[in-house]
């Protein structure tokens, strides 16, 4: 049972880290935020989101805390760690390089 992958492999991590760079958010909010900011183009599937979140947490790039959400329920809030911030920088740089390169190729052709 493959999961629909609308996102280029590996970019989901970058999106999550970027989304969390402003403030701590829970999973639902992260998905919503990515959807909104991308103008509904990027749909983050739960099937990818939660494994990615747990993986990032294991890597030590984000940390999680249980706190009260806007609706008053307990929710798991993720926030960036110092290491995560560094990772975000290097991944952003990577992404810029990559997308520029792709752009050049696409435009030239």
| 42 near other proteins, rule: CB under 8 A | no
Cα–Cα–Cα angle for 67, 40, 71, rounded to 5 degrees: 25
| 79 neighbors 61 (Cβ within 8 angstroms) | no
Q: From CA 52, how far away is CA 74, in angstroms rounded? A: 21
| 67 near other proteins, rule: CB under 8 A | no
| 5 near other proteins, rule: CB under 8 A | no
* Nearest distance from C-beta of residue 96 to other proteins, angstroms: 25
Q: From CA 15, how far away is CA 11, in angstroms rounded? A: 6
Q: Restricting to residues 75-104, which ones interact with other proteins according to CB under 8 A?
A: 75-76, 81, 83
Residues forming the site for other proteins (CB under 8 A) = 1, 3, 26-28, 31, 45-47, 50-52, 54-55, 57-60, 66, 69, 71, 73-76, 81, 83
């Amino acid at each position: 049972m493959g999961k629909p992958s609308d996102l280029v492999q590996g970019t989901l991590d970058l999106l999550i880290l970027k989304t969390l760079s402003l403030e701590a958010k829970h999973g639902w909010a992260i998905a919503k935020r990515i959807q909104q900011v991308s103008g509904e183009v990027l749909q983050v599937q739960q099937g990818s989101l939660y494994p990615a979140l747990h993986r990032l947490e294991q890597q030590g790039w984000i940390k999680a805390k249980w706190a009260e959400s806007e609706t008053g329920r307990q929710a798991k809030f993720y926030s960036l760690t110092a290491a995560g911030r560094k990772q975000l920088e290097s991944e952003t740089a990577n992404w810029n390089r990559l997308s520029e390169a792709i752009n050049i190729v696409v435009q030239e052709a």
